[in-house]
Amino acid sequence: MEKDNNDYIQNIRDALPEDGTIADLADLFKMFGDPTRAKILGCLQLRDLNVGEIADVLGMSVSAVSHQLRILRAGKLVKGTKEGKEVKYSLDDDHVTKIMEYGLTHVNEER
Amino acid sequence: MEKDNNDYIQNIRDALPEDGTIADLADLFKMFGDPTRAKILGCLQLRDLNVGEIADVLGMSVSAVSHQLRILRAGKLVKGTKEGKEVKYSLDDDHVTKIMEYGLTHVNEER
DNA sequence: TGAACAGTTGAGAGATTGTTCAAGTGTGAG
DNA sequence: CTCACACTTGAACAATCTCTCAACTGTTCA
């Protein structure tokens, strides 16, 4: 019966996505899991913006925003394009808007 | 032109969700942003499980799992029902499965 | 050339997070 | 009652995170 129980547990384990996939999934959601990054992604859904503009909208330092943009870039959620001495940022992923919309729907339904 | 610029920034600010809403959104995504919690939510999509079973599936201590379950309970994503001396956990939110599916689709599309 | 501007980067402080370990609660079986 | 079992909880610790500050790169313009 120990064996039955182990099989039972093993079956569930086998049905789950691989650890690497789970890690990727968690990393993706982590991007949206910080208010500053969520706001940045929210802005960029409205229009492309440079770093200074994002900092103004959020009321934060350019440096703090730049640090978060680096993380979002690494996660391939935004991309930055140099235009003269500015860097214009835009969403780099079709899913970003949908994922945020879905989350917002959920949050707004909460009672 | 300072004024124009300020209005421009202000318009974007006004179009974003309120800070409280953004915080709720970030807190929601934070739930999925840890591999242990993501796995727990993954298991519970397959079937309801008690704490020991979840710990076995994940290969983690009962204590560690219980701590994470407390967080998921606080976030209203799972609920625990006492059955004798066990506690059976189940998903407490229709959106959980869809949000994870959407995230997985995204992750699997990545190249 | 050089000064001003836009942004990036690294170090470090303070806060938050996830796990372990030990102790605790509550339930059922003998 | 007492013991074993299933689970929860609090303290402690290391790892990670986010911001600030200062220094740095690169671009434009006079």
Extended strands (E) in chain A: 49-50, 78-83, 86-91
DSSP code for B32: H
Chain centroid to CA B46: 16
**Contact B17/A42, CB-based, under 8 Å?**
yes
**Contact B42/A17, CB-based, under 8 Å?**
yes
Token digits for A104?
């917002």
B57 touches strand D (CB under 7 A): no
> Are residues A17 and A39 located together in one domain of the fold?
no
> Are residues B94 and B44 located together in one domain of the fold?
yes
**Contact A28/B53, CB-based, under 8 Å?**
no
Q: How far apart are CA B81 and CA A73, in angstroms?
A: 42
Token digits for A7?
């099989």
Q: How far apart are CA B33 and CA A25, in angstroms?
A: 8
Residue–nucleotide distance: B40 CA to C8 C1' (Å):
39
For A5, half-sphere exposure in the C-beta direction (CA atoms, 13 angstrom radius) is: 7
pLDDT, tens digit, 9 for 90 and up, residues A84-100: 999 999 999 889 999 99
Contact B78, B90 (CB under 8 A): yes
Q: How far apart are CA B79 and CA A27, in angstroms?
A: 25
pLDDT tier for residue A109 given thresholds of 50, 70 and 90: confident
> Are residues A4 and A52 located together in one domain of the fold?
no
Question: Distance, in angstroms, between A58 CA and closest chain B CA?
Answer: 8
Tokens 């994503």 -> residue: B77
Which pLDDT score, from 0 to 100, does residue A1 have? 41
> Are residues A45 and A97 located together in one domain of the fold?
yes
> Are residues A63 and A51 located together in one domain of the fold?
yes
* CATH for B45: 1.10.10.10
Which residues of B are less than 8 Å from A23 in CB distance?
Answer: 35
CA distances in angstroms from A21 to A24, A67, B103, listed in the order given: 5, 26, 10
**B-chain residue closest to A95, CA distance:** B106
> Are residues B85 and B105 located together in one domain of the fold?
yes
- Averages of pLDDT over each 10 residues, chain B, 111 residues: 68 97 98 98 97 98 98 97 97 93 90 61
Cross-strand pairs, A50:
A88
Of B33, B98, B107, the CB nearest to A30: B33
> Are residues A27 and A41 located together in one domain of the fold?
no
The tally of domains found in chain A comes to 2
pLDDT, tens digit, 9 for 90 and up, residues A10-26: 999 999 999 999 999 99
Q: How far apart are CA B1 and CA B3, in angstroms?
A: 5
Which pLDDT score, from 0 to 100, does residue B1 have? 39
**Contact A25/B16, CB-based, under 8 Å?**
no
pLDDT, tens digit, 9 for 90 and up, residues A39-61: 999 999 999 999 999 999 999 99
Cross-strand pairs, A81:
A88
> Are residues A39 and A91 located together in one domain of the fold?
yes
> Are residues B27 and B54 located together in one domain of the fold?
no
Which residue is nearest to the C1' sugar atom of C27, using CA? B85
Which pLDDT score, from 0 to 100, does residue B5 have? 61
- Give the residue from B90, B54, B51 showing the smallest Cα distance to A13: B54
Q: How far apart are CA A52 and CA B69, in angstroms?
A: 41
> Are residues B40 and B81 located together in one domain of the fold?
yes
Which pLDDT score, from 0 to 100, does residue A5 have? 61
> Are residues B44 and B93 located together in one domain of the fold?
yes
Contact B22, B16 (CB under 8 A): yes
pLDDT, tens digit, 9 for 90 and up, residues B32-41: 999 999 999 9
Supply the pTM of this predicted model: 0.93
> Are residues B22 and B60 located together in one domain of the fold?
no
Which pLDDT score, from 0 to 100, does residue B30 have? 98
Question: Domain residues for A10?
Answer: 1-31
Which pLDDT score, from 0 to 100, does residue A7 have? 85
